[in-house]
């Protein structure tokens, strides 16, 4: 069995109580399909103080594997990540490293929608041109029941949305297919900085 939990020692920042809480350190969607919704609503990461009820969030390390979508994502400092990375790349998985819960949730959503997160980040990079001068902390891929948006986040709250343009996604996917296949299959940190670097390198080919 791949899925694994461990006891985590921590001190409640509210009351100071020392305690143990059980957390996931390895998680297989095949073994625990209900975990998908618990990741997206963040309840999977929640730990509660047994003394005062204060809630905190476990931020890793966690190794997440979706066998059907062929996605492996490492949140935090996963032990033996380099070895795990090589094994999953050999199996044809997309392998990603993410720093926080919100980033893991985004990768899961993108994968569930059958999209390439590299193209999503390239679209975000293109959007930064339109948003020049606007202040925000994050731009997140955000599907709802009817549409898909890029949600702008500042101080942990939404400050606006940009419509997701299917035609732009398809155009970028076709335009950069060769470059992505030749150079980026083994890259694991796919974020806005990666996309900006990619555009800087390939800009002349893109225009």
- In this structure, the chain runs to a length of 207
Looking at residue 156, its pLDDT comes to 86
Cα–Cα distances (Å) from 58 to 25, 65, 104, 128, in that order, read 10, 18, 13, 31
Find the helix packing angle between 117-130 and 101-112, rounded to 10°: 110
Looking at residue 207, its pLDDT comes to 42
CB atoms within 10 A of CB 25: 17
pLDDT tens, residue order, the chain (207 aa): 899 999 999 999 999 999 999 999 999 999 999 999 999 999 999 999 999 999 999 999 999 999 999 999 999 999 899 999 999 999 999 999 999 999 999 999 999 999 999 999 999 999 998 888 789 999 999 998 889 999 999 998 999 999 999 999 999 999 998 888 776 667 899 999 999 999 888 765 444
Task: State the Cα torsion 106-109-115-118 to the nearest 10°.
Answer: 10
Looking at residue 183, its pLDDT comes to 67
pTM (2 d.p.)? 0.91
pLDDT tens sequence across 84-95:
999 999 999 999
Looking at residue 133, its pLDDT comes to 78
Looking at residue 204, its pLDDT comes to 57
The one-character DSSP state at 107 is H
Residue with tokens 């041109």: 129
Ramachandran category for residue 76: left, alpha or beta (phi over 0 → left; psi -120 to 50 → alpha): left
Q: Which residues pair with 8 in a beta bridge?
A: 21
Burial class (CB in 10 A: 0-12, 13-18, 19+), 11: exposed
Cα–Cα distances (Å) from 173 to 49, 63, 69, 145, 187, in that order, read 46, 28, 18, 24, 17
């Amino acid at each position: 069995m791949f899925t694994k939990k461990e006891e985590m020692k921590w001190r409640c920042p509210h009351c100071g109580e020392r305690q143990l809480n059980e957390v996931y350190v390895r998680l297989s969607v095949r073994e625990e399909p209900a975990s998908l919704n618990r990741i997206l609503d963040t309840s999977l990461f929640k730990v509660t103080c047994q003394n005062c009820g204060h809630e905190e969030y476990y931020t890793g390390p966690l190794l997440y594997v979706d066998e059907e979508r062929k996605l492996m994502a490492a949140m935090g400092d996963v032990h033996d990540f380099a070895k795990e990375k090589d094994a999953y790349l050999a199996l044809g998985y997309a392998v990603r490293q993410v720093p926080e819960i919100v980033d893991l949730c985004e990768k899961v959503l993108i994968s569930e929608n059958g999209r390439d997160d590299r193209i999503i980040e390239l679209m975000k990079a293109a959007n930064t041109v339109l948003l020049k001068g606007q202040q925000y902390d994050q731009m997140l891929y955000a599907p709802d029941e009817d549409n898909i948006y890029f949600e702008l986040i500042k101080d942990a709250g939404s400050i606006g949305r940009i419509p997701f343009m299917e035609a732009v996604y398809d155009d970028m996917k076709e335009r950069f297919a060769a470059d992505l296949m030749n150079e980026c299959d083994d890259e694991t940190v796919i974020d806005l900085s990666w996309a900006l670097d990619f555009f800087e390198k390939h800009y002349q080919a893109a225009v």
